Amino acid sequence: MLEIFSVCKQYTSGRGHITALTDISFSVAKGQSFTLAGKSGSGKTTLLNCLGALEQPDGGRILYNGQDICSMSSRQRAYFQRRDIGFVFQTANLLPWLTVAENLMLPLELNSIYGKKQKGRIEELLACFDLVGYEKAMPGEMSGGENQRIAFARAIAHKPALILADEPTSSLDSVTGYNLIELILSLCDVQGSTLVVATHDPELIELTNNRLYLKDGRIEAAT
C-alpha cells in the first residue's frame, strides 16, 4: 500500500540546516500495523507527516497504491487526505466549539455520509469507544483520555484505508494507552485499515506487526 524510496528531508531554521530524514526506504502492506520508533528528534513526526502529505520530502518518492503522493496536485492531495487517511495527533485536536457528535460528523460529511447512515455510524463509534451518552458533551468537559478516544473515533469514522497516529497515547497513563491501541488494532482489523503509529512506548511497539527504528533521521533497524 505504501512504498517509500530514499526519502530525505531537511529543514532550515534558527539552528541552521537540520537533516531530519536521510535515505529512508521501507514499505507497508495493506492491513498491516506499523510502528515508527525512535528517540525524541529522530524524525518520527517528519516521516509521518510526509506519509500523510502534510509535508513534502526534499528527495525520494512515496507511493500510495502506486501513486506518487509527492506529485499530486493540491486538489488531489486534499481528496487523498480526507478520503484515504485518518489522522490522530499527539494532543486530541478536537474542535473545542463543537460537541462530540459534531466533531465525529466532520469526516463523515466530508465524505458525503449524511442522514441515517451518519447517525448510525456515530452511535456505532461511541459504543466502540465506550462513550455512549457523550454526543452532546464538549471536548473541554471531558478528560484527556476521553478526548483522545474521540480523536481516534473521528480518525476512523469514514473508514479510511490508512490511519496515521503521532504519539497518540503519550498524554495517557500506560494502561489506558495500551487498551486504546489494542482497540484501534482490532477496529483496523475489522475494517481492513492500515495503521502507522509513531511512539517510543516499548509496550505499544510490541503490539504492532512491524517496526522501524529511527536514529538521527536514519533507519537503525527494521523488524
Ligand X SMILES: Nc1ncnc2c1ncn2[C@@H]1O[C@H](COP(=O)(O)OP(=O)(O)OP(=O)(O)O)[C@@H](O)[C@H]1O
Q: Which residues bind ligand X (CB under 6 A)?
A: 11, 13, 18, 20, 38, 40-46
Residue 199 touching Mg ion (CB under 5 A)? no
CA-to-CA distance for 157 and 154, rounded, in angstroms? Answer: 5
Beta strands 59-64 and 33-37, pairing class: unpaired
Nearest approach, Cβ of residue 148 and ligand X (Å)? 16
Nearest approach, Cβ of residue 116 and ligand X (Å)? 41
Q: At residue 34, what is the residue type?
A: F
Nearest approach, Cβ of residue 45 and ligand X (Å)? 3
Select 41 or 145, whichever has its Cβ closest to ligand X. 41
Answer with the entry of Mg ion, ligand X, none that 35 interacts with (C-beta below 5 to 8 A by kind): none
Answer with the entry of ligand X, Mg ion, none that 147 interacts with (C-beta below 5 to 8 A by kind): none
CA-to-CA distance for 24 and 5, rounded, in angstroms? Answer: 6
Nearest approach, Cβ of residue 50 and Mg ion (Å)? 13
Select 60 or 107, whichever has its Cβ closest to ligand X. 60
Residue 169 touching Mg ion (CB under 5 A)? no
Q: Using an 8 Å Cβ cutoff, are 199 and 167 in contact?
A: yes
**Which residue's C-alpha cell is 452532546?**
136
Answer with the entry of ligand X, Mg ion, none that 107 interacts with (C-beta below 5 to 8 A by kind): none
Candidates 45-53, 67-75, 99-107, 189-197; binding stretch for Mg ion (CB under 5 A): 45-53
Select 60 or 168, whichever has its Cβ closest to Mg ion. 168
Answer with the entry of ligand X, Mg ion, none that 38 interacts with (C-beta below 5 to 8 A by kind): ligand X
Answer with the entry of Mg ion, ligand X, none that 153 interacts with (C-beta below 5 to 8 A by kind): none
Nearest approach, Cβ of residue 23 and ligand X (Å)? 15
- What b/e string do you get for 111-139 counting C-beta neighbours within 10 Å, with b at 16 or more? eebeeeebeebbeebbebbebeebeeebb
Residue 45 touching Mg ion (CB under 5 A)? yes
Q: CA dihedral defined by 171, 172, 178, 183, rounded to 10 degrees?
A: -90
Residue 203, Ramachandran bin (φ over 0: left; ψ between -120 and 50: alpha; else beta): alpha
CA-to-CA distance for 99 and 94, rounded, in angstroms? Answer: 9
Select 170 or 210, whichever has its Cβ closest to ligand X. 170
Quick one: CA dihedral 158, 54, 34, 145, positive or negative? negative
